[in-house]
Amino acid sequence: MKTRKLRDLTVSAVGMGCMGFSHGYGACPPESESIRLMRSAYEDYGCTFFDTAEVYAAYENEILVGKALKPIRDKIVLCTKFMPEIFLPGQEIPEGKTSRRGLRSAVEGSLKRLQTDHIDLYYEHRVPANRDVAEVAEWMGELIKEGKILAWGVSEATPEQIKRAHSVTPLTAVQSEYSIMERKYEAEVIPLCKTLGIGFVAFSPMAGGFLSGKYTSQTKFEGDDLRRVITRFDPKNMDANQALLDLLKKFAADKGATPAQISLAWMMCKNDFVVPIPGMRRDERLKENFGAADVVLDANELAALEAALSKVTIHGDRKDSDIQKLGTVKAVVKS
């Protein structure tokens, strides 16, 4: 597997988003199968970049990831996140979660669940609009000096928040949704990351799986599946977005690749500091997604793809507020 730099961390060019092993996309694989797939990502494909969060299934995903990666802990880059405004069991403290004590409590809990003595990359999962991110940046700097974390990042942050945080304790990565179907961060955030030397980690780079071309407007999303409330998976929008899939299929056929691989290669070939972390729960998805690291789009191919994409209208989106209403986080949101 090719590698990339997220500031001072070297990671595989394609990482693994682990949330789906515990919740969010319908029925989950058995624990033994999830563990096998995570280990296969490293052993068979060279993936060294694994992403989880305390809030995924209320601690369950961190516990699973810790168990799966323990035998290869010293060979991989492990990332997790604390959610400042979502209180999980045991996190109700007088100072509030967004405090020095609250952050330390959160990181200690993650260290225990992940069965490790340090976290390679620790994110503030969302940055509250009514808080000064500089406070968290200062506390993250303390954790770095103590060796509890090696680097820190923010998720879904604004350009102003990124600059403010980075000025206090340099950021290693910004993690936000980014795909051919969600490109808002290309306007300011990704160029800012390039200027400041900050890596950009793309979650949902396959737009919840839509870009794989494996789903149709007839697909039923039930139970613990975020796609029930993501409007791009509304049947009418899925039909309307078929034009995008047709375009990707054409480029994929010309390149001897799959639409999923073109979708991932598109963002990796545009910027060498962007690392996608697709979720994948089947062997064929591992082979396909990690294989995207070897798909190279030259300048002319990228230009042709961008020109074609500029003529396609994207229907639907993904909103955190809708996802929280679904209730899959199993947590209590406090103001």
> Domain holding 97: CATH number?
3.20.20.100
Report whether 206 contacts 182 (CB < 8 A): no
| Residue 38 in domain | yes
Q: How far apart are CA 263 and CA 49, in angstroms?
A: 19
Q: Report the SS3 class of residue 155.
A: strand
Report whether 49 contacts 16 (CB < 8 A): yes
| Residue 249 in domain | no
Asked whether the CA dihedral 71, 204, 52, 199 is positive or negative, the reply is: positive
In DSSP terms, 203 is beta-bridged to 177
Report the DSSP pairing between strands 77-82 and 121-124. Answer: parallel
| Residue 196 in domain | yes
At residue 56, what is the residue type?
Answer: Y
Question: What's the domain count of the chain?
Answer: 1
Place 316 in a pLDDT band, splitting at 50, 70 and 90.
confident
- 140 or 214: which leads in pLDDT: 140
* pLDDT value for 317: 83
What are 6-62's pLDDT values in tens digits? 999 999 999 999 999 999 888 899 999 999 999 999 999 999 999 999 999 999 999
Q: What is the mean pLDDT of the chain?
A: 93
Q: How far apart are CA 79 and CA 51, in angstroms?
A: 5
Q: How far apart are CA 107 and CA 78, in angstroms?
A: 13
Longest dimension (CA), the chain: 59
- Reply yes or no on whether 56 is catalytic: yes
Tell me the chain's radius of gyration from C-alpha atoms.
Answer: 19
Place 87 in a pLDDT band, splitting at 50, 70 and 90.
confident
| Residue 267 in domain | yes
Candidate from 38-42, 76-80, 97-101, 307-311 with smallest mean pLDDT: 97-101
Q: Mean pLDDT, to the nearest integer, of 318-334?
A: 50
| Residue 266 in domain | yes
For residue 162, give both structure tokens.
């990124």
Report whether 44 contacts 286 (CB < 8 A): yes
Q: How far apart are CA 8 and CA 11, in angstroms?
A: 10
Q: Which of 135, 168, 132, 170 is nearest to 153 (CA)?
A: 170
What pTM value is reported for the model? 0.94
| Residue 226 in domain | no
Catalytic residue among 56, 59, 178, 185: 56
Number of neighbours of residue 334 by Cβ within 10 angstroms? 11
Domain, as residue range, for 103: 3-210+259-297
Percent of the chain at pLDDT > 70 equals 95
